Structure 1
Amino acid sequence: MIPLLEVYKERWQVKSEQAIKPGLEAIEFALRKLGEPQKQLNVVHLAGTNGKGSTLAFIEGMAREYGLSVGKFMSPCIVDVHDQIQVDGRPITNEQMDRMFQQLAKAGLSGKLTDFELLTAVALLYIAEQSPDLVLIEAGMGGREDSTNVVTPIVSVVPSIALEHTNFLGNTLTSIAYHKAGILKENRPAVIGDMTEEVTEVFEKEAIQKNVLLSKFGKDFFVTKLDGTETYDYPLQQITISDLQRQLLGKHQGHNMVLAITAFLEVIKKFELLLDIQKIRNGVNNATLAGRFEQISPNLYFDGAHNPASIQSLVDTVKENFPNKRIEFIIGLLADKDIKTILQLLEEVGDAFYFANIHNERAMQAMTLYELSQAKEKQIIDDVNEFLQGLVKGDTVRIVTGSLYLLSEIRRNMH
């Protein structure tokens, strides 16, 4: 369920399926009917298990420093469907969404697409109409057969590979990597994150087939830490950028930052801009992202970690930043996640656990989470927003995690 999408579907009598159907035939058909809007865009395309949103935020930060206008299509939403489609930080409005749906209805696309395909078509149509300089697009699931894979990007970026959506993408890292590597395009460069040897080989094979220049974290470009700041190095291009001080916390964000810089070098080349190290520095230092160790109030953080790899990053960030604090987790999870592993990881650092229901047909019941948890201090909460308004002692840190859907529900109900 994509919040508020149904409202527009009903208003304009445009039907679409909630099911996930991998494959590009339907979206390609729809885009032909709509005049191929994707062909007008200068795109950076991102796929991967974790790190897409953060890498995107770093790229956007740099682009804005350079004075480029930026369109974005991201998933899932922060609050509702509008914030998934943005131009220069402004979500698509109700009126603009109505106008896009009107065009989809006119093109006879009712009943031809899934929900995510429909949203992809709306995003590409709207962003093309607004004609920003640069467009940042996150794949929804996988990559090769994801409906966003209809673009020919300036550069493709894959921050990480971990087990996810195994019912669609296969249950090995190499099969998942095969799907993600599908966003690499003929003669267009690509940048990949820190990956195992077998996963890297999948990308190298795809790169050879498509004549792609592949830049790899830890082999071609690096991040080093010194005196509380970080330095980016790309020896082959003789580029070094020091004094990087990002706001996005956690070691993994250092990886995402240098991936973003490497990808942005391709954008600079495409637009024939000069390399301005201060602009790059400002861009990454100012980057923020909702739901990524995001501080809501002095003792309250939101983090949309929802699989073992991102939960491990969250646990590492907690250890690094709050070694002597009492840690309380407020958790809601979708049922298709590796729930036992997620709970085990969080139990390493968590002192108390509060389980919440998410209003989503894919969610696991709070009672089931409670029963699976090995935590000594645990309970179920009915009203998360009311609970979060309660007083927190100074030595306690509360972290809401487990699902971006839970975070978006809480935000919708915040007064």
Structure 2
Amino acid sequence: MIPKLDHYKKKWDVHSDVSIKPGLTAITEALKLVGNPQDKLSVIHVAGTNGKGSTITFIEHICQAHGLSTATFMSPCIEDVHDQIKLNEQPITPAEMDEVFHIMADAGLDDKLTDFELLTVAAFLAFERFAPDIAIIECGMGGRFDSTNVVMPIVSVVPSIALEHTNFLGTTIESIAMHKSGIIKEGKPVVTGALPVEAMTVFTTEAEKLRSALLVCNEDFNVLEENATETYIAEDIRIISLIRTMPGLHQRSNMALAITAFNIVAQEKGININVEALRNGVEDAQLAARFEQLAPQLYVDGAHNPASAKSLVETIHEKFPNEPIHFIVGMLGDKNVQGVLEELEKVGTTFAFVDVANERAIAAKDLSEISKAENKSTTYDILTTVKERMLLNEVIIMTGSLYLLAKWRKKLKETLK
């Protein structure tokens, strides 16, 4: 369920299916009916398990620092459907959403698509009207059969691969990689993080088959720490004195991917890279709900699988060594709940488990039963729990599901400011 999408569906009498149906036939036919807006865009296409949002944010800010307009389509939402479609970082307005729904209603898209497919068409129509210099599109799930995989990108980017959505994408790294590598297009370069060996084999084979250049972090480009700053190094470029605002060593790789992707775009579009602008873009890049500080001692992070939970734990070790950590955790039941909890329990002092307002959620009491933490509880009054823990001078981190953060992020920010 995408918050506030139903408002527009009812208003414009455009119905869609709430289920997930991977495949490109329906979206392709629907886009033809609205004039194939995706073909008029200069696109960077991003897939992967973790790091997509951060990498997109780095790219977005580097582009804007060079005077380029941007549009982004990302999933899931942080607050509601509007923030999934952004024009120069600003969520699409209700008036702009009405315009594209009007077009879709007139084109006869009623009952032809799933919710995510409908939103994908809406994003492409909004981007066509806005005419950005660069559109950065995130896959909703997988890649090969994801509804966004109708674009012809300048470059494809895949930050990481781990097990996820196994009921749709398969239960092995190879099968996940098969889906993700489906965003590679013939003759178009692909930039990846340091993927598992099994995944890299799939990507190498796919890239060779499609005659696409494959650029891999730590092999074809890298970022090193030098004099309390970072230095990006590739065959044709070296950029010193980079300063990230986004914390965590895993963001170093995401930054490197973004710089590499932008370098490819700059070459394609005849843009001169301004090193100072690039530095400013990197430093300005911040992403909501990715180790985001809402108040003193209070952070939110959308870690929802073991790999992202591991990155969160590494960031905690980096920023808060030997400090008591209180986790507030709510999760969806179709995630690797035990794997996430095992990571968080490595640093968590106390845990409060909460319900998430989503039909796929696992109940707080069931989370507590799965957890092996010694000091744990369930709570239905998150605000009181946060205030009590702040009085104990603990670092408080809410995590586990972006749906949980979507409900509480704004409320906590306003209440505790």
**TM-score interval, normalised by the smaller of the two chains:** over 0.9
Distance of 1:30 and 1:383 partners within structure 2: 44
Matched, 1:65 2:65: yes
Separation in 1, partners of 2:268, 2:149: 20
Residue equivalent to 1:222: 222
Equivalent-residue separation in structure 1 for 2:411 and 2:295 (angstroms): 16
Equivalents in 2 of 1:335, 1:169: separation in Å?
17
How much does 1:258 deviate? 0.3
1:270 and 2:283 aligned: no
Kindly provide the amino acid, as one letter, of the partner of residue 225 in structure 2. K
- Decide whether the 8 Å contact of 2:356 with 2:403 is kept in 1: yes
Question: 2 CA distance for matches of 1:280 and 1:324?
Answer: 35
**Equivalent of residue 348 in structure 1, options 346, 349, 366:** 346
- 1:387 deviates by 3.0
Q: What is the correspondence of 1:188-207 to structure 2 with a 5 Å cutoff?
A: 188-207=188-207
Indicate the residue corresponding to 2:305 in structure 1.
307
Is the CA contact (8 Å cut-off) linking 1:299 and 1:394 kept in structure 2?
Answer: no
Q: Could you tell me whether the CA contact under 8 Å between 1:325 and 1:395 is conserved in 2?
A: no
Give, as a single letter, the amino acid of the residue that structure 1 aligns with 2:266: I
Is 1:186 aligned to 2:186, yes or no?
A: yes
What amino acid is the match of 1:95? A
Q: Which amino acid aligns with 1:27?
A: I
CA contact (8 A) 2:326 2:389 kept: no
Are 2:281 and 1:283 equivalent residues in the alignment?
yes
For residues 242-299 of structure 1, the C-alpha deviation after alignment (integer angstroms, 9 at most, x for no partner) is 1111011111000000010000001111220112211111111111000111111110
| Structure 1 residues 83-107: Cα deviation after superposition (integer angstroms, max 9, x where no partner) | 0001011111111111211111111
What amino acid maps onto 2:106 in structure 1?
K
Maintained 8 Å contact 1:73/1:85: yes
- Are residue 84 (structure 1) and residue 84 (structure 2) matched? yes
Q: Distance in 2 between matches of 1:412 and 1:319?
A: 26
2:243 is matched with which residue: 238, 242, 245?
Answer: 245
Which structure 2 residues correspond to residues 143-222 of structure 1 after superposition, within 5 A? 143-222=143-222
Amino acid at match of 1:69: S
In structure 1, the residue matched to 2:100 is 100
1:373 corresponds to: 371
SS at match of 1:182: helix
SS in 2 for 1:111: coil
Is 151-160 or 380-389 further displaced after alignment? 380-389
Separation of aligned partners in 1, 2:352 and 2:314: 20
SS at match of 1:215: strand
SS at 1:392 equivalent = helix
Instruction: Give the alignment's Cα RMSD to 1 decimal.
Output: 1.1
SS at match of 1:20: coil
In 1, Cα distance between equivalents of 2:57 and 2:381: 31
1:280 and 1:97 mapped to 2: Cα distance?
32
Supply the distance in 2 between the matched residues of 1:279 and 1:123 (Cα, whole angstroms): 28
Is the contact between residue 303 and residue 309 of structure 2 (CA under 8 Å) also seen in structure 1? yes
Using the alignment, how far apart are the partners of 2:121 and 2:293 within structure 1? 33
Q: Distance in 1 between matches of 2:314 and 2:375?
A: 21
Check if 1:38 corresponds to 2:38. Answer: yes
Normalization by structure 1: what TM-score? 0.98
Question: How far off is 1:408 after superposition?
Answer: 0.3
Equivalent-residue separation in structure 1 for 2:231 and 2:411 (angstroms): 41
Cα 1:130–1:83, aligned 2, differ >3 Å: closer, same or farther?
same
Q: Alpha-carbon deviation of 1:378?
A: 1.0
In structure 2, runs of 5+ residues without a counterpart are: none
SS at match of 2:183: coil
Residue 360 of structure 1: SS of its match in structure 2? coil
Looking at structure 2, the residues matched to 197 and 285 of structure 1 have their Cα atoms a distance apart, in angstroms, of 32
Question: 1:394 Cα shift?
Answer: 6.8
Aligned residues: 413
**How many Å apart are 1:395 and its aligned residue?**
4.1
Q: Which position in structure 1 is the counterpart of 2:314? A: 316
Q: CA deviation at 1:195?
A: 1.1
